[in-house]
Amino acid sequence: MSLFEQQTQHSGNAKALSVTHYGTEFMHMVYQNIAKVYDYTYGPTLHPGRIEALEKMRIRPGTHVLEVGVGTGINLGMYPRAARITGIDLSSRMLQKANQRIADKGLTNCDVMEMDATKMTFADDSFDVVYAPYVISVVPNPVAVAREMYRVCRPGGRVVILNHFKSANPLMSKIETAISPMTVHIGFKADLDLPGFLEQAGLSPVSLEKVNVPKIWTLITVVK
């Protein structure tokens, strides 16, 4: 199946969430290639959303956070030192930079590992907070990732997703759908459908907020 064919989501009659389709290997290659410049291209512009997401986590001393798609570890220094942070990513080059950041900043409360977010090896109910920053529109199967995030979150814990989704504005929606086959080459789908994603993932948010400038990113908070 080519990159420009319609994406299928699971079996049955589930609605496709994007017009673009690609495999894990394709996106792995994209992020291996942009690892060196990620902090400069996606760092400052998306930082306000990261701050708001951190507030939604309600981290207390001893909180165990799983960051899905930890990348270069750009968020790791933001967490309270009294919390325990585990990060996973599929890109070894990204993780090299994350490990270097941990060493340079002395982040002894943080550790990262290579793992497929659709097939996490963690037990059920392992984490107090499970956070995916700017990841859901990157992965080939966002629903599978969200379901895994929910699985490994403890009852009463929080699943926090920060991501771009297709606009509710009809004109913007058409533009995002048209450019999505191109934007995947710089690391994300532009036309991921939010209502469809939430329905298929079985997520019932306690809050949905628009963040960053312009406010075209969505911060989703779910309590398990």
Instruction: Return the closest-CA partner of residue 102 out of 132, 79, 68, 76.
Output: 76
Q: Please report the pLDDT score of residue 196 as a whole number.
A: 96
Q: Residue 31: its pLDDT value, please?
A: 66
Q: Which stretches of the chain score pLDDT less than 50?
A: 1-13
Q: What is the DSSP string of 78-102?
A: GS-TTSEEEEEES-HHHHHHHHHHH
- What pLDDT, on a 0 to 100 scale, did the predictor assign at position 3? 30
Q: What is the pLDDT of residue 20?
A: 75
Alpha carbon distance 40, 30 (integer Å): 16
What homologous superfamily does CATH list for 24-223? Vaccinia Virus protein VP39 (3.40.50.150)
Task: Tell me which amino acid residue 142 is.
Answer: P
What is the Cα–Cα distance from 181 to 178, expressed in whole angstroms? 7
Q: What share of the chain is helix, strand, coil (3-state, %, to 5)?
A: 35, 20, 40
**What is the per-residue pLDDT for 201?**
97
Nearest in space to 76 (alpha carbons), one of 44, 45, 108: 108
pTM over 0.85: yes
What pLDDT shows up at residue 43? 66
Q: Can you give the pLDDT at residue 164?
A: 94
